[in-house]
Amino acid sequence: MIGGFGLLLLVIFSIYLSTGHHAAGSPGVAAGKPIHRFVAPLATSDLNVPANAHPRCNPARPARRGLNVCGRGTLVLDFFVTGAAPCVGAVDALQAVSRQFPSIMFAAVAVDADRAATAKLVRRHHWTIPVACDLSGTIGQLYGVEVCPMIELVRPGGIVQRRLIGDAWRQPAALAAQVARLVAASRSA
């Protein structure tokens, strides 16, 4: 049974690679490039709609029941899968680090996630940062999410400073050091 599951995953991954939806070994947005704008429903809201990958961004009217990523301020944005412990651990680290940097927006997007299951996860982990659901995987595809944790560090104006990938970023101290560098770069820019 385990072998069959492994084979199924291999087939799915091969199909994914052959369709060209990946970013050729370079997931996320490259440093120095603008982030992709989007609005996605918060897991704890009553919205059960797909994310909008082409929103009109209006700072005067932020999305109240959604995560509105429009590149206005400094942002630490994590993409995760709800069923993977390392990915969930990265959101725990984001939550911890967010307390040290109250002027920065920290947010997470559950890729290809069920809203109700993600909301339960938010409550169980006591996350207060915005956690959105990418119900259809649209935002995951837009960002080329292939692995998690995958965290985008974004300067004001929506320019990606750095992309963090892997288990090291589940450690709050390591993540906090990168966020401190982001803050310093944002001030000098």
Q: For residue range 38-73, what is the model confidence (pLDDT) as tens digits? A: 989 999 998 778 888 877 776 555 566 788 888 778
**Is residue 20 predicted with pLDDT exceeding 50?**
no
Residue 6 lies in a domain: no
> Residue 50: its pLDDT value, please?
80
Please compute the mean of the pLDDT values over residues 84-108 and round it to a whole number: 95
pLDDT, averaged across the chain: 82
Residue 68 lies in a domain: yes
**Residue 44: which residues within 8 A CB-CB, separation 6 or more?**
119, 122, 123, 131
Buried b (16+ CB within 10 A) or exposed e, 37-75: bbbbbbbbbebeeebbbebebeeeeebeebbbbbbeebb
Residue 73 lies in a domain: yes
- 105-111 and 75-80: which strand pairing? parallel
Domain that holds residue 56: 26-188
Q: For residue range 110-167, what is the model confidence (pLDDT) as tens digits? A: 998 889 999 999 999 999 999 999 988 999 999 999 888 899 999 998 999 999 998 8
Instruction: Name the domain count of the chain.
Output: 1
* CATH classification of the domain holding 160: 3.40.30.10
What is the distance, to the nearest Å, from the Cα of residue 124 to the centroid of all Cα atoms in its chain? 19
What is the distance, to the nearest Å, from the Cα of residue 159 to the centroid of all Cα atoms in its chain? 15
Provide the pLDDT confidence category of residue 89 given band limits of 50, 70 and 90: very high
> Which carries the bigger pLDDT value, residue 83 or residue 123?
123
Residue 4 lies in a domain: no
**Does pTM surpass 0.85?**
no
Residue 17 lies in a domain: no
Residue 12 lies in a domain: no
Tell which residue, 145, 111, 148, has the closest CA to residue 131.
111
The amino acid that residue 137 corresponds to is: G
pLDDT over 70, % of the chain: 81
Residue 114 lies in a domain: yes
> Which carries the bigger pLDDT value, residue 117 or residue 14?
117
Answer whether 39's CB lies under 8 Å from 65's CB.
no
Residue 62 lies in a domain: yes
